[in-house]
Amino acid sequence: MLVNAKEMLEKARDGHYAVGQFNINNLEWTKAVLTKSQEMNSPVILGVSMGAGKYMGGYKVVAAMVRAMDETLGITVPVALHLDHGNYEAAKACIEAGFTSIMFDGSSLPFDENIEKTKELVKLAHSKGISVEAEVGAIGGTEDGITADGEVADPAECKKIVDCGIDFLAAGIGNIHGIYPKNWSGLHFDALEKINQATNHIPLVLHGGTGIPDDQIVHAIRNGVSKINVNTDCQLVFAAATIEYVNAGLAAPTGDNKTKGYDPRKLLKPGYEAIRAKVEEKIKLFGSDNKA
C-alpha cells in the first residue's frame, strides 16, 4: 500500500520505534524488502538514490515497477517510495514521476539557498500529498558524489528548516555513509537531544545506519530518531552471498544446484535471500515489526 511517509514516521516517533528505509537497486532488492516487510507486518520506506534511479532506467521506471509489484504481491503494509539525497532537479522529477516521498538534500548549499529551495519543494510536494525530508549538517562519507566529514548540525538551523514545513529531518550527529572507520567516535547524543528539543520533536532521520552499534541505534530511537537508512548493509550481504554461490559453482560445477548456475534466477537468489534476512534483522532492531 503506497503512502507518503509522514503518518508512519509520526506513529514511530510516538511509539518509540523507527521505520527502516532500505535502499533499492533493482527488482530483487525491491521484492526482498517488500515481501519481508509484509511478513513482519512492518511499515517500510523504499529509498532510491539519484544514482540508483539512473541505473534502473529513470524515476518513472522505478515508480512503475514499485507500484506494480506492490499491487501484484498484495502488499498491505504502508510503503513509501522515497527519493534519497536528491538535488533540486531530482526532487522535482520524482514528484512528477509518482514517488510518494522525497528528500531534498541541500546540505552542501549555502544555508539560505537550502531554505529557499526547501520551501519551494515543500509547497509543490504537499500540493500532491507527497512528504518531504530535508537535511542540515551534511552526513559523512560519499553519497552520489557529495562528500562530507560527518558534521554535527546546528539546532538553530534545524529549527529554521523545520519551519519551512518539512515532514521529517535528517540532521547530522556524526553519522556517515558507508563502512565506519575504526576510529569513529560514535553518535553525538548531546547534539541529538538539543536538535530534538529545538525542532519540537519532529521525526528525525538517522542516515548511515550500517555499522552503528545496536546500543547506539536503540539510544537514538529513544531520543527522537524515527527513520533509519540502511543501504551498505544490504549491499555487503548481497555481494557476499553472490560471491559464495559463484565460487561454489566453480568448485563443483556438476552439482545439481550448479548445473545452470548461469541462470540469473539462480545466480541472484542467494543475494535476494540475504537481503531478506538483513531486512528482518533491522526491522527487529528498529522495533517496527507488527506496527503496520
Instruction: Give tens-digit pLDDT for 220-269.
Output: 999 999 999 999 999 999 999 999 998 887 766 655 555 567 788 989 99
- The catalytically annotated residue of 84, 154, 167, 233 is 84
Instruction: Sort strands 101-104 and 131-136 into parallel, antiparallel or unpaired.
Output: parallel
Q: Where are the beta strands (DSSP E) in the chain?
A: 19-23, 44-49, 79-84, 101-104, 131-136, 141-143, 146-148, 168-171, 204-206, 225-230
Model pLDDT, residue 147: 45
CATH of the domain at 198: 3.20.20.70
CB atoms within 10 A of CB 226: 29
**Does 84 participate in catalysis according to the annotation?**
yes
Please give the tally of structural domains in the chain: 1
**Mean of the per-residue pLDDT values for the chain?**
92
Residue 185: what pLDDT?
81
Assess if residue 292 is contained within a domain. no
Q: Which residues pair with 133 in a beta bridge?
A: 103, 168
Q: Is the pLDDT of residue 109 over 90?
A: yes
Assess if residue 1 is contained within a domain: no
Q: Is the residue at 197 inside a domain? A: yes
Q: Say how far apart CA 250 and CA 269 lie, in whole Å.
A: 17
Residue 30, in any domain of the structure = yes
Asked if 172 contacts 151 with a C-beta cutoff of 8 angstroms, the reply is yes
Question: What is the structure's pLDDT at 182?
Answer: 80
Domain that holds residue 38: 6-286
Give the range among 85-89, 208-212, 282-286 with minimum mean pLDDT.
208-212
Give the three-class secondary structure for 66: helix
Q: Which three cell numbers stand for residue 46?
A: 523504499
pLDDT band, very low/low/confident/very high, at 88 (cuts 50, 70, 90): very high
Question: Does 238 map to a domain?
Answer: yes
Q: Residue 50: what are its φ and ψ, rounded to 5°?
A: -60, -40
Quote the pLDDT of residue 219.
97
Q: Is residue 247 part of a domain?
A: yes
Return the half-sphere exposure (C-beta side, CA atoms, 13 A cut-off) of residue 133.
32
pLDDT mean over 215-223: 96
Q: Is residue 34 part of a domain?
A: yes
Task: Examine residue 291 and state whether it is found in any structural domain, yes or no.
Answer: no
Rg of the chain over all Cα atoms, to the nearest angstrom? 19
The string of pLDDT tens digits covering residues 121-140 is 999 999 999 999 999 976 65
